[in-house]
Structures are given as C-alpha cells and as structure tokens.
Amino acid sequence: MKTQPTQPGHWTAFFTFFFLLFISFGYSQNDSISNQKDTTSEKSLPSKEPIVSDDEQYASNPFSDYNEAYYKVDRFNDQIGLPPTEYNLRTPQAALEHFIIHARNDDFKTASYVLNLNLLPTTLTHEEAATLAEKLYFVINQRVNIDWDGLSDRPDGQIDISTTTNKAIAGKPRRSVVFGEVVLNDRDIVMRVQRVRYKEFGAFWAISANTVENIEPLYAEYGPRKLDRMMPDWARIKWLGFPVWKLVGIIVILIISWFFGKLITLIIKKLLQNSDRIWLRHIASKLSKPAGVLFGTLLFYILLDNLLSLSGGFADIVYTSLIILIIGSITWFVTKFVDYLMTYIAENKIGDVSEETNEEARKMLTYISVARRVVTFLVVVIGGYIIISQFRALEKVGISLLASAGVATVVLGIAAQSTLGNFIAGLQIAITKPVRVGDTVIIKEDWGNVEEIGFTYMVVRTWDLRRLVVPLKYVITNIFENWSMTSSHQIRPIILHADYRVKVSKIRSKFEELLKASDDWDEDNPPVVEVVDTSEESIQIRALCSAKDAQTTWKLHCKLREELVDYISELEDGLFLTRTRVDVAKAEDIKKKREASKNDDS
C-alpha cells in the first residue's frame, strides 16, 4: 500500500494551529507578567483612545511679532514647563535626535520636552504629554523614514554646501524644517520641527504644534495592531533588527491567503462549470483564477493591516508590494472580464461573419475587435498610473517629466514612431471602416479574408490558408482592394479566345443557358457576352457573371469558363478554336527565290 503524500492543507492547518497556540501562550504570559510588579518588563503600548477631549480649556494664540529667523511666542508649554537648559535643542537635527534617543530608551517624559504643546489644552499633564511622545515615536518608527543627512545641524536651519573655494555661502535662515510626511484620510500630514523663541529664554527647535496636534489621529490610524499588544516581552526576539514573530506571522498569513485564493477559484469553478447557461461556464473558465488572486490578495492585506504593524524599510517594501499586487490583481481581473465580455458578444450576439452578405455582423465584429484592445490598453494604463501615483518618491520624477515634456514627446515619437503609427491607424480603421473583419481583400496580389484586426496589425487568411500579417499603417497609407467594402455582391469576367469565323451569337445563347441553369447566379446582372479585343489570330470574348459574394462568384466564373471552353471545342469539331494560318503556296515561292539567289551568288 502506497503512502499518501502530505497534502498542503495539512501544513496550513499545522502552521495555523502553531501560530494561534503561540499567540494564546504569549497572551497568557503577558497577563501573568503584567500582574506582577516586575520593573524589568516592557511597558505596554498606549491605547488608541484619545487623551485630549474637545471640551477642555485651550489657551489663546501664543504667536507674537514676526521674525524670519524664528517664531516669537509669548508662552510655551505651560502644561509641563520649558525644556531644561542642559538639553541640546539648538539645531533641527539635535532636537529630533533628543526626541528619538530618549523615546527609544522609553524615557518619554524627557522626550516630551521637544513637543510644542501650545495647541493642546492647558490641563494636559506631564504623563499625558509623555503618552503623546510615545504615540508619535510609534508613528515615526512605523511610517516615517527620517533623512538625517537632509536635516540641518546649524541653529539657523540652513544646509551646509561645499564649494571649490571652501567659503561659506550665505543664505536665508529657516525657521521650519520638514522631517517626514504621512498620508491620513487622503491628505498629507507634514511633520516639522520649528525654531521658536520665548521671551528671554533664547531660540530653540521643537516639533511643531501642528504636528503634535495630529498625533492622536495618526496613532489611531497607524497605531499598534491586535497582535502587537498580545505579544509578551519574551516573544519579541529580533533577527536582523526585525521581530521574529512578525516574520512568522507574515508567512502564516501569506499561506492562509494563498489557500483562500485557491479556495475561491475552486468554488467558482465548481459552482458555475455545471451551469446550464453558457456565460456562467465561461466565467468559471475565464475569471475564476483572476478572482482567486484578487480575493487572496485582499485577504492578505486585511489580515496584515488588522493583526500586524510593520515599521521601517521593511514596511515600505511590504506595503509597496501589496499596493502593486492589489492594483495589478484588479487590473488583471478587469482586463480578463473585458476580454470575456467582448468575446461572448462576438460569439453569441453577432451573426456568422464568414457569410459576406452579413455586413452588419462584420461591422460589429470589427468594432468589438478594436474596442477590446483599446479598452484593455486603457485599463492597463490607468492601473499603471494608479500604481505610480501611490509612490510619493515619483512625484519629483513626474514634475521633471512634465518640465521636459516637449523633449520626451519628440524622443518617444522618434523611438516608437512605427508602433504609435500602427496604433493610431487602428483607431482610424475603427472610425472610418476601410476594412472590416470578414472582408475579402487583395493586398500585394494576395487574395484572402480579414481574419483579425489587432492593436497594430491585421491578419488576412489567403485562399490557400496562409496568413498575411499586415501592419495597420500599411492599410491606411497604401492602396489595396476591398471587394466587400460596400457590398459583397461581385461581377467577374470570363475571358475566351476564338477564331474570327465563330458565331458570337451562339456563344451568347449558350452562356445565357448555362448561367440561368446555375444556382449560384444571383440574377442581379443579366448575361453579357461581348467581343472586347482582337488580334492577328483570334478575337477576345468577355462574358460577365455575378453572384452574392466573392467566393461564390469565383466558383461560378471557373465553372462557366470550363463549360464554355468545352462548348467552343465541340462546336463543328473545334473549327472555331484559335489557330495560326500559313499560306503554303506563298511559302514555296519564297523558298524558290532564296535558292535562285544562292545560285547567282555562287
């Protein structure tokens, strides 16, 4: 008896059980440790409940006279007092370093002296200010990458610039410096340090009052998740500076989301594949996989956002990848849906385009063929734009591209001239309709039917089942024959050669008889037989036949030509077939003269 291989679902159940057991054990340990007065345990993270209410008492506007080097205020942090003089807050970098270092060491009371609390209630206590400092540190650690090299270490806030002469460059002092930006409810929260001066205390740098005012909503949005609060101190082991339990949690969530996506794909297929309706079966085959990827990605995002909080560069990588994956999944799903919808309409709502008489069907199929590709292209472009718009780092790139739009347009036009020309030609074909799917065309002396009109090319199926791939730009800029542009009805000539003595009236009568006996004749044009040309040896006779479309006309013309040749061959035993005449008597005279001339010469 063969041993059955372990199913992936067993591994998933194992990981999930282990992870939940790990959490439960950690939670119980956290409760037991918190009940003991252990001074070495890490202080629990603050709650997301706001510590400042709207009905508290606020002080008046603290700003006084304007000064371009600093903000003059008539009060500063009456709630906790001025920062002690031993704290170095003379430069933007020093002030932010003071906050980060003391917050990292859990000394949030000391870190709170860097906060400008002038926009907060006067009843705020020092403990509440320390809680605000802890919340701000958590948000900065999660969402802000501080550019320390870009922060000035000069009291006037200016950036030192190196020159070839090593001379100082004088500039305008700055009293406000940005050190981070965070998106909150579709608006940008700019974090700043500002230089303030209170009476005779001297100028120093502090985290701006507006930044401090936004700490509560930022913490409510980006604060710790459920598992962050449940993890005990012993479980917070770090590997390469990253908590191991978070890495394990991400892997487990990823596995759960992957199997959830597979489950969604399987459910859609099982429910819809056995349906009596064709369109539901098509959805099962076409859209089940994109739907599975989309729902699996959404579940991963929801679980990660509600259970874990990531910080630093790793958070940027994960959330950036998630944004790309989610938007890419939605784009893929929409493109597959559009493709399916257009294909379903083409196959079930449009008639048979192989019949050239069905002009309306061929017109609609051409519209659908071009529209499907244009809509797909637009969806992909919009998806790409949404992805790019999520990255603030690309804003400067966008501004630079906008500034150099003229040059970029010229370069793009030269580099992609052929591709863009074919794409625009496709739009022209969709609007002006010089050719449609199913049309009979002659391109470069090849006869065939238009099988497909793509983004940049057209496929023509020739009569011998070859495929001609024709650039759309060629179709717009060159002459070609379209035998079914306005109507599929066609007239074809039958060319015959006969002797001068033939009775054309007999051929005309026979042709009329043969044409009326044929089922392919559409009777739109009467039988016509005419002598259209002569030569030294024969006359050229043209007979015209017509049918409903090019293919039928070709078959009719070949059949009638064969029958007329048989008729002329049998008429008076082939007397009227073309021939070359030679006068034998005259030829003998010429021969004798040549022989006499030779004798005289000798």
Q: What would the pLDDT profile of 535-544 be if each residue is shown by its tens digit?
A: 888 899 999 9
Q: Are 300 and 257 in contact (CB under 8 A)?
A: yes
Residue 60 has pLDDT above 90, yes or no: no
pLDDT at 289: 83
Q: Hey, what amino acid is at 141?
A: N
pLDDT at 22: 43
Highest mean pLDDT among 34-48, 55-69, 138-152, 384-398: 138-152
Over residues 409-446, the pLDDT tens digits come to 565 556 556 666 777 777 777 777 788 887 888 888 88
pLDDT at 148: 85
Residue 1 has pLDDT above 80, yes or no: no
- Distance of alpha carbon 178 from alpha carbon 38, whole angstroms: 40
Over residues 436-476, the pLDDT tens digits come to 887 888 888 888 888 888 777 888 988 888 999 988 888 88
By three-state DSSP, how is residue 494 classified?
strand
Residue 499 has pLDDT above 90, yes or no: no
User: DSSP secondary structure string, 22-79?
Assistant: HHHHHHHHHHHHHHS--TTSPPPPPPSS-S--TTS------B-S--TTSEEES---TT
- Please state which of the ranges 389-398, 442-451, 477-486 shows the lowest mean pLDDT: 389-398
557 versus 281: which is more confidently predicted? 557
Over residues 67-120, the pLDDT tens digits come to 678 888 888 888 898 888 889 999 999 999 999 999 989 899 999 999 999 888
Highest mean pLDDT among 54-68, 449-463, 492-506: 492-506
366 versus 302: which is more confidently predicted? 302
pLDDT at 170: 54
- Please state which of the ranges 300-309, 385-394, 424-433, 481-490 shows the lowest mean pLDDT: 385-394
467 versus 579: which is more confidently predicted? 467
Residue 354 has pLDDT above 80, yes or no: no
Span 285-295, average pLDDT: 81
pLDDT at 107: 92
Q: What is the average pLDDT value for the chain, to the nearest integer?
A: 76
Number of CB atoms found within 10 A of residue 319's CB: 16
pLDDT at 6: 38
Residue 478 binned pLDDT confidence (cut-offs 50, 70, 90):
confident
Number of CB atoms found within 10 A of residue 254's CB: 14
pLDDT at 583: 61
Q: Strand pairing of 457-462 and 467-471?
A: antiparallel
Query: Residue 283 contacts by C-beta under 8 Å, 6 or more apart in sequence?
Result: 268, 272, 340
CA distances from 109 to 46, 47, 127, 216, 272 (A): 14, 17, 7, 17, 62
pTM: 0.51
- Distance of alpha carbon 263 from alpha carbon 275, whole angstroms: 19
